[in-house]
A and B are shown apart, each in its own frame.
Chain A
Amino acid sequence: MKIDPIHQFNIEPIITLGHIGKHTIAITNSTIYMFVAVGIVGLLMLASGRQLIPGRMQSIAEISYEFVASTIRSTAGTEGMKFFPLIFSLFMFICVSNLVGIIPYTFTVSSHIIVTAALALLVFFTVLIYGVYKNGFKFFSIFVPHGVPGYILPLVMFIEILSFFLRPVSHSVRLFANMLAGHIALKVFAGFVAMLGVSLGAIGWIGGVLPLALTVALTALELLVAFLQAYVFAILTCIYLNDAIHPGH
């Protein structure tokens, strides 16, 4: 009985489509789960009813809508609502793919750094391009905080610029690392149960109760983390966009 907690992150090509330069382009299990997430979000939002008194599906769709909308309004103001489709897409995509990833034998799209980095860079460049487009040179005033004495201003500006360019790193690594670590921990504890049961017989069955309980608790924690990381990603996006919308603050 081997425990391989890394196996779940393997990318398995299903159909190889071709090559761009040296890179293989293939439909992989990751592709499938990305489209599963898109399909679930689309189904949830489009197939739910239009009743005055909503049913369960419609309630979930409307709660998601209101939740993201109120998050944007509270962090980026009403002007931030022009990014509502982007933030809603990001939040729902990450949240649904994280939640799907908790189901055993599935694949977690956001456990790959390349995916989270791409999403974080999308946010980064949206902020940068919209900020410059809307405010021109004034956008760069976010690097110059008010009320800082002149002699430490260069240092503060250096730190501000550095932190601005490190945003996509922290933004992507936070999501990636949380999903990765959570899934590894789950797999390790679940593996203990099977290993004890197989190798030690009846004693192992009793000994397996503790890791099993831990696995159950960790699954609950992972459910929370799956939602929370999507929320954190969305709210950080709102905060970054707020810089682009209101660089004066």
Chain B
Amino acid sequence: MATGHGDAKAKATGAHTEADGGHHGGGFPPFESTYFASQLVSLVIAFVALYIIVSRFALPKVGGVIEARQNAIEGDLAQAQKLKDESDAALKAYEAELAAARSRAQAIGNETREKLNASAEAERKALEDKLAGRLADAERQIAATRTTAMGNVRSIAAEAAGAIVQRLTGTAPDAAAVTKAVDASLKG
């Protein structure tokens, strides 16, 4: 058991443990002073070695790797932001050009429409003028024809009236009086 072990060790290490004042007697290893010095020396060497490894090599290395990654991430993010800005600018330029092209197309359309409208209007006007001229000619012709016809009607009517008066009264009427009477009757 525990005590047996303590005794075995005490025998193994000889007189030194005896000189320590018999601390090993309790048999509880963590409180046995026999190997305190050994543990302290081991601990100092091990811990100093660890401290040198950690401070000289391990932490700079791992810290460097973490920093490099951080820089890479930041660089990538900056690059992505730059590309995004570029694409945004390109999109904006494209939209501006599209808007310009659209307004130009609208302007061309308007101009063409106006030109076409104007020419159509001119053509219509010319046609109307021509038609109006022809209409006026026709009207004039009709009026002339009617006047001629009316003149013919008047002389025929005067002659007929004179003949009728001569047949009824037996005397030839005054030609001027007959014409006057016919005119009055044509007006009425």
Q: B-contacting residues of A (Cβ < 8 Å)?
A: 2, 4, 6-7, 9-11, 13, 19-20, 22-28, 30-31, 34-35, 37-38, 41-42, 45-46, 48, 50, 52, 54, 58, 61-62, 65-66, 84-86, 88-89, 92-93, 111-115, 118-119, 122, 176, 180
Find the B residue at minimum CB distance from A34: B46
Q: Smallest CB–CB gap between A8 and chain B, Å?
A: 9
CB distance from B122 to the nearest CB of A (A): 77
B41 contacts the other chain (Cβ, under 8 Å)?
yes
Q: Of A27, A46, A112, which is within 8 A of B57 by CB?
A: A46
Number of A-B contacts (CB under 8 A): 152
B20 proximal to A (CB < 8 A): yes
Assembled-state Cα–Cα distance A182/B13 (Å):
29
Please measure, in the bound complex, the distance between the C-alpha atom of A9 and the C-alpha atom of B26, giving whole angstroms: 14
Does B168 have its Cβ within 8 Å of any Cβ on chain A?
no
A93 in contact with B50 given A6-B28, A23-B16, A52-B69 (CB within 8 Å):
yes
Instruction: Note all chain A residues with C-beta closer than 8 A to B49.
Output: 35, 38
Interface flags for B84-106 (1: CB within 8 Å of A; 0: not) read: 00000000000000000000000
Q: Give the number of chain B interface residues (Cβ < 8 Å).
A: 45
Please name 16 pairs of A and B residues whose Cβ atoms are closer than 8 Å in the assembled complex, sorted by A. A4-B2, A13-B9, A22-B20, A23-B38, A24-B34, A26-B38, A27-B42, A34-B42, A35-B46, A38-B53, A52-B68, A62-B66, A85-B51, A85-B55, A93-B47, A112-B29
B170 within 8 A of A: no
CB-CB under 8 A from B2, the residues of chain A are 4, 6-7
| B1-60, CB < 8 A from A | 1-2, 5, 9, 12-13, 16, 19-20, 27-32, 34-44, 46-47, 49-51, 53-55, 57-59
A188 smallest CB distance to B (angstroms): 13
How many angstroms from the CA of A7 to the CA of B32 in the assembled complex? 13
* Cβ-defined contact, B43 with A41, below 8 A: no
For A113, the chain B residues whose CB sits under 8 A away are 30-31
On whether the beta carbons of A10 and B29 are closer than 8 Å, the reply is: yes
A87 closest partner in B (C-beta): B54
Task: For the complex formed, measure the closest distance between the CB of B16 and the CB atoms of chain A, giving whole angstroms.
Answer: 5
Q: Which residues of A contact B72 (CB under 8 A)?
A: 52
Contact B30 A2 (CB under 8 A): no
State A24–B19 Cα separation when bound (angstroms).
Answer: 11
The answer to whether A65 and B39 have CB atoms under 8 Å apart is no
Pick from B16, B41, B54: contact of A89, CB below 8 A: B54
A residues within 8 A CB of B113?
A: none
Question: Given contacts A22-B16, A62-B62, are A89 and B51 in contact (CB under 8 A)?
Answer: yes
Decide: B57 and A2 in contact? CB cutoff 8 A: no
Q: Determine the distance from Cα of A89 to Cα of B38 in the docked complex, in whole angstroms.
A: 21
Sample of 14 further A-B pairs with CB below 8 A, known A27-B38, A65-B63: A13-B35, A20-B37, A24-B16, A25-B37, A26-B35, A30-B39, A41-B50, A45-B61, A61-B62, A85-B54, A88-B54, A89-B47, A93-B46, A114-B39
Bound-state CA distance A50–B37 (Å) is 40
- CB of B123 to closest CB in A, whole Å: 78
- B71 to chain A minimum Cβ distance, whole angstroms, is 10
